[in-house]
Amino acid sequence: MPAPSDPWDRLRARVRQLPGLRQPLLDGCVVCRGPAGAGYARCVQCDRHAALGGRLLADTVVPVSYAVRGSALTGCLWRYKSEMRGAVAAGTTLVSLLLVFLRDHGGCVSRAGVPDRLAVVPSGYGRPGAHPLARLVAPYLRLPPAALTLRPGAQGRDLDTGRFTADAAVRGARILLLDDTWVSGASVQSASASLKLAGAASVSAVVLGRYVNAADPAVAAFAARVGNAPYDPAKCAICARNYNYSPHLGNSAEWVADRKRLL
C-alpha cells in the first residue's frame, strides 16, 4: 500500500502506530470517562467536583486516550517534562497525538463555543517558566495565550477555586484548556474555575491521558476493559456516541496551524 500523500493522513498513520493508546469508553464517567459505580453517571471525584464547583467547571472535558499505568503513553507523559534522554521524542509523540485529535475533533471540543484563547494547566509543583506542554503546542496552535498562575502553596487533589489566578485577557473569551494527565481532575477543574471567575465565557478542556491505575483492585474490571479498547483516531469520547463521521468533512479545527515540521 502506498504511503499517504496528504500530510494530515501521514500524521494520522503515525498516531495509529503509537503504542499504549486506549480509546475512552463510552459508558465510563460522563465527565472524564473514568470508572463510575454501577448506576452512577459520574465517578466519585467528578461527582464531588460537581457539588463544589457547579457552573465553574469545564463545559466540556475530552480525554484523548487512557494512560494506563506502566504503558508507553504514561511513560511519554512523564518523560517529555524531564531532562532525560528521550524527552524530545516523547514530546513529538504527544504533540502529534494532540494535533491529530484537535484537527479531527475540533467540532466535538468546541461544543461550548469555538475557542479563541489557549490556556495550559500550570504544574502543581510551581515549575518556573512556561509549562512544557505550552512550549510544545505554541508553534502549532493559532490561539493567543491566556495565562494561568499557580498561587503559592496551593496544591492538592481537591477542587480549589483559588488554586490559580487568570489574567484579565480571559474576560469574555472561549478557552481551550489543555492538560497532559488527568488523575483526579482537580487541577483541570480548579483551572476552569479560575478562568470562569476571571470572566471566561466557556472552557473546553482537552486532556492527553486519563490515568488508569490497573493495579488498583477497585478498578480492575474497568482497567481490563480499557485494555481491550484499541485506539481509533477517527473517534473520540463525544462523537463516537453517534458515529457517523469523517475527519475530512468539515469537523476540523481551523485554529490548528501548520504541522509540517512534525513530518
Residue 6: predicted pLDDT? 79
**What is the pLDDT averaged over residues 116-145?**
86
As a whole number of angstroms, the distance between CA 98 and CA 104 comes to: 10
Query: ∠ at Cα 207 (118, 125), nearest 5°?
Result: 80
Domain layout of the chain by residue ranges: 7-262
| Full DSSP string of the chain | -PPP-SHHHHHHHHHHT-TT-BPPPTTS-TTT-----TT-SS-HHHHHHHHHHGGGS-SEEEEEEEEETTSHHHHHHHHTTSSSTTHHHHHHHHHHHHHHHHHHHHHHHGGG----EEEEPPPTT--SSS-HHHHHHTTTB-SPB--EEEPTT---SS--TTSEEE-GGGTTPEEEEEEEEESSSHHHHHHHHHHHHTT-SEEEEEEEEEEE-TT-GGGHHHHHHHHT-B--TT--TTGGGG----TTSS---TTB---GGG-
86-98 pLDDT, tens digit each: 899 999 999 999 9
Q: How many CB atoms lie within 10 A of CB 90?
A: 22
Lowest mean pLDDT among 97-111, 145-159, 192-206, 243-257: 243-257
Decide the pairing of beta strands 164-166 and 148-150: antiparallel
More confident residue, 102 or 257: 102
Residue 128: predicted pLDDT? 65
Residue 56: predicted pLDDT? 97
Residue with cell 499505568: 69
Residue 1: predicted pLDDT? 52
As a whole number of angstroms, the distance between CA 66 and CA 181 comes to: 9
Q: Is the pLDDT of residue 183 over 70?
A: yes
Q: Is the pLDDT of residue 178 over 70?
A: yes
CB 211 within 8 A of CB 157: no
Lowest mean pLDDT among 38-42, 122-126, 172-176: 122-126
**What is the pLDDT averaged over residues 178-195?**
96
Average confidence score pLDDT of the chain: 87
196-254 pLDDT, tens digit each: 999 999 999 999 999 999 999 989 999 999 998 889 888 888 886 554 444 433 446 77
pTM over 0.75: yes
As a whole number of angstroms, the distance between CA 49 and CA 98 comes to: 26
Residue with cell 467547571: 57
Q: Is the pLDDT of residue 124 over 80?
A: no
Which of 96, 180, 92 lies closest to 131, judged by CA? Answer: 180
Q: How many CB atoms lie within 10 A of CB 150?
A: 21
CB 262 within 8 A of CB 256: no
Residue 222: predicted pLDDT? 94
More confident residue, 90 or 83: 90
